[in-house]
């Protein structure tokens, strides 16, 4: 097939010299089981101990607000926000505390920004929820690990007070869920429960807590706010949603107030340090195997009429692996990971973030020590987005401003390339392709690319399909890059988190296909 101006421009952009080819047939009509994808499919989980660094105290954190609002402008809805995680089970309420009082362990090379050992909060801490973008849906976690029902009850009352305030109501910021405790399957490991602690013990204890907290929060079958559970760390720890269901989790009156099951999932962990390969994270097969292991739990959850989400997820647990989680390669991993998750019945993914964590999408405040090594910085590193923020932008644009966007994986017979088609109702609109082959700073050969010959299957438009398209590229120099990415010529690496630059897209005929380079994602808009 003769190359056109579109392919020539694509080749010049990243100086690709090697081109293979793959035929791709995109269904013109979505399958009946193609899921509707939420505008907030990629959302944020935020460590509770430094929440006010994200939100602001007496005024909002403009940088954080802007980065959320950017996504809202694309899809019409801001990301959902979950506040809690490890420090959720170290949080206590005291009415005389102004915002928060936190005690942190000493930083280490592996953990430059450790979670708080103790966090005491007051009403003003929860009240900062008002600084989120209008329309934000929120999950707040309360302490279960400490077995202090009084403190959990008081925290819940304060949370409800916040969401009943005139300012929060006017902004349409709503409390979707209360989460009672974080990762109960880790309570034994953390020394908070005896070695014999089982799923049945947890269900019994959770039910007791929920009975009291439902009264404090006014949660009923008719209320908007519901419970989210079980926030399990991983299937290998001996607990699972299935075991919780078998132990009667949803049998009680308060158990029927659960509307969503939250599973936590990572691709591995950096808890003890070590060397991690970026290409291993980006591997197409590994991405799928790390998610398909959850399918039995997803199906069991759906059989109970409940939603299944990843309430906390990211690349490598314990804040990410340096030189991997904070790179452009991780952005491509996140695009494929989040979109493939949608195909399995995972309705939202909350990517975990904390101040100074390596795998953050957003660093919301200036850092005075390195997030990679813990070393003090001569000059503080200002607030900034990290490469995975671009993954959220790409997925947001693919979803667009619709509450009826459906997504279906495209069959791409290639070991490195993934593809997803997006439909408004039954009409094909866009496609995302990701080339997960790593092009690294150490790569000595010229950059590879693959030519995608596009075709269509189905009866829409008389079976012919669209004839013209535009192509938008996530431009990355190398998979190791920690900054300098652009999305269609636009950069989010700015002081205020707002995009800058002139939007550039390539126009061409569908029949001519498109090149996708190693370590690149593209959005194809069909005209």
Identify whether residues 389 and 444 lie together within a single domain.
Answer: no
Identify whether residues 365 and 497 lie together within a single domain.
Answer: no
What gap in Å lies between CA 36 and CA 423, rounded to an integer?
Answer: 9
Identify whether residues 438 and 514 lie together within a single domain.
Answer: yes
Determine the pLDDT at residue 144. 96
Identify whether residues 94 and 130 lie together within a single domain.
Answer: yes
Identify whether residues 441 and 318 lie together within a single domain.
Answer: no
Measured over the CA atoms of residue 225, residue 227, residue 233 and residue 234, the dihedral's sign is negative
Note down pLDDT in tens along the chain; length 527 residues: 334 444 444 444 433 445 689 999 999 999 999 999 999 999 999 999 999 999 999 999 999 999 999 999 999 999 999 999 999 999 999 999 999 999 999 999 999 999 999 999 999 999 999 999 999 999 999 999 999 999 999 999 999 999 999 999 999 999 999 999 999 989 998 999 999 999 999 999 999 999 999 999 999 999 999 999 867 776 656 788 999 999 999 999 999 999 999 999 999 999 999 999 999 999 999 999 999 999 999 999 999 999 999 999 999 999 999 999 999 999 999 999 999 999 999 999 999 999 999 999 999 999 999 999 999 999 999 999 999 999 999 999 999 998 899 999 999 999 999 999 999 988 999 999 999 999 999 999 999 999 999 999 987 666 678 999 999 999 999 999 999 999 999 999 999 999 999 999 999 999 999 999 999 999 999 99
Q: The tokens of 32 are what?
A: 């009946």
Print the domain residue range for 276.
42-399
Identify whether residues 483 and 391 lie together within a single domain.
Answer: no
Of 360, 376, 399, the domain-final residue:
399
Determine the pLDDT at residue 12. 40
Phi and psi based region of residue 279 (left: phi greater than 0; alpha: psi -120 to 50; beta: remaining): alpha
Identify whether residues 415 and 302 lie together within a single domain.
Answer: no
Of 343, 377, 399, the domain-final residue:
399
Identify whether residues 21 and 117 lie together within a single domain.
Answer: no
Q: What total number of domains does the chain contain?
A: 2
Q: CB 296: neighbour CB atoms within 10 A?
A: 13
Pairing state of beta strands 362-363 and 367-369? unpaired
Identify whether residues 409 and 395 lie together within a single domain.
Answer: no
DSSP type of residue 72:
H
CA angle, residues 311, 315, 318, in degrees to nearest 5: 80
Determine the pLDDT at residue 464. 79
Q: The tokens of 253 are what?
A: 């009156």
DSSP type of residue 272:
T
Cis peptide before 363 (omega within 30 of 0): no
| Dmax (CA) of the chain | 73
CA dihedral defined by 105, 107, 110, 114, rounded to 10 degrees? 50
- Sheet of strand 18-27, all strands in order from the earlier edge strand to the far edge: 18-27, 448-457, 514-517
**Percent helix, strand and coil across the chain, each to the nearest 5:** 30, 30, 40
Identify whether residues 224 and 273 lie together within a single domain.
Answer: yes
Identify the three-state secondary structure at position 159.
helix
What gap in Å lies between CA 82 and CA 65, rounded to an integer?
Answer: 15
Place of tokens 């007791």: 208
Radius of gyration of the chain (CA): 23
CATH code for the domain in which residue 507 is found: 2.60.40.1180
Give helix 328-343 / helix 388-399 axis angle, nearest 10°. Answer: 40
What gap in Å lies between CA 134 and CA 50, rounded to an integer?
Answer: 22
Q: CB 360: neighbour CB atoms within 10 A?
A: 27
Q: The tokens of 520 are what?
A: 């690149």
CATH code for the domain in which residue 337 is found: 3.20.20.80
Phi, psi of 518 (to 5 degrees): -55, 135
Place of tokens 């630059």: 501
Of 347, 368, 399, the domain-final residue:
399
Residue 271 · residue 320 · CB < 8 Å: no
Identify whether residues 105 and 148 lie together within a single domain.
Answer: yes
Identify whether residues 491 and 383 lie together within a single domain.
Answer: no
């Amino acid at each position: 097939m003769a190359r056109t101006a579109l392919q020539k421009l694509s080749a010049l952009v990243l100086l690709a010299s090697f081109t293979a080819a793959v035929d791709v047939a995109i269904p013109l009509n979505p399958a009946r089981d193609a899921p509707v994808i939420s505008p907030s499919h990629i959302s944020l989980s935020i460590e509770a101990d430094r929440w006010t660094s994200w939100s602001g105290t007496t005024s909002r954190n403009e940088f954080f607000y802007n980065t959320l609002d950017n996504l809202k402008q694309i899809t019409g809805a801001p990301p959902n926000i979950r506040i809690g995680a490890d420090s959720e089970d170290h949080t206590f309420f005291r009415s005389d505390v102004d915002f928060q009082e936190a005690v942190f362990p000493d930083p280490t090379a592996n953990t430059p920004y450790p979670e708080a050992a103790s966090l005491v909060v007051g009403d003003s801490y929860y009240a900062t929820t008002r600084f989120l973008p209008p329309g934000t849906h929120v999950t707040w976690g309360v302490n279960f690990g400490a077995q202090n029902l009084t403190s959990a009850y008081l925290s819940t009352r304060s949370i409800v007070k916040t969401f009943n305030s005139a300012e929060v109501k006017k902004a349409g910021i709503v409390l979707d869920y209360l989460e009672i405790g974080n990762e109960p399957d880790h309570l034994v490991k953390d020394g908070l429960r005896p070695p014999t602690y089982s799923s049945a013990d947890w269900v019994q204890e959770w039910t007791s807590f929920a009975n009291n907290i439902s009264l404090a929060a006014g949660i009923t079958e008719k209320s908007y706010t519901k419970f989210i559970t079980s926030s399990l760390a991983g299937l290998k720890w001996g607990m699972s949603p299935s075991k919780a269901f078998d132990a009667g989790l949803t049998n009680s009156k308060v158990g029927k107030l659960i509307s969503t099951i939250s599973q936590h999932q990572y691709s591995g962990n950096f808890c003890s340090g070590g060397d991690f390969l970026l290409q291993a994270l980006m591997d197409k097969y590994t991405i799928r195997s790390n998610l398909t292991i959850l399918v039995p739990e997803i199906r069991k959850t759906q059989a109970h009429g409940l939603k299944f989400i990843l309430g906390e997820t990211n690349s490598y647990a314990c804040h990410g692996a340096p030189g991997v989680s904070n790179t452009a390669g991780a952005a491509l991993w996140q695009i494929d990971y989040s979109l493939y998750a949608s195909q399995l019945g995972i309705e939202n993914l909350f990517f975990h973030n904390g101040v100074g964590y390596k795998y953050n999408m957003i660093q919301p405040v200036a850092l005075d020590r390195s997030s990679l090594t813990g070393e003090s910085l001569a000059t503080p590193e200002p607030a900034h987005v990290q490469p995975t923020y671009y993954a959220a932008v790409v997925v947001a644009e693919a979803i667009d401003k619709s509450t009826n966007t459906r997504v279906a994986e495209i069959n791409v017979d290639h070991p490195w390339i993934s593809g997803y088609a997006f439909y408004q109702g039954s009409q094909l609109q866009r496609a995302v392709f990701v080339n997960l082959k790593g092009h690294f700073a150490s790569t000595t050969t010229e950059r590879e690319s693959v030519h995608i010959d596009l075709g269509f299957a189905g009866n829409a438009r008389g079976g012919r399909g669209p004839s013209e398209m535009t192509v938008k590229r996530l431009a990355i120099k190398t998979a190791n890059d920690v900054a300098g990415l652009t999305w269609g010529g636009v950069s989010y690496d700015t002081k205020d988190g707002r995009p800058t630059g002139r939007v550039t897209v390539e126009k061409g005929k569908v029949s001519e296909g498109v090149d996708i380079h190693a370590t690149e994602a593209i959005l194809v808009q069909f005209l």
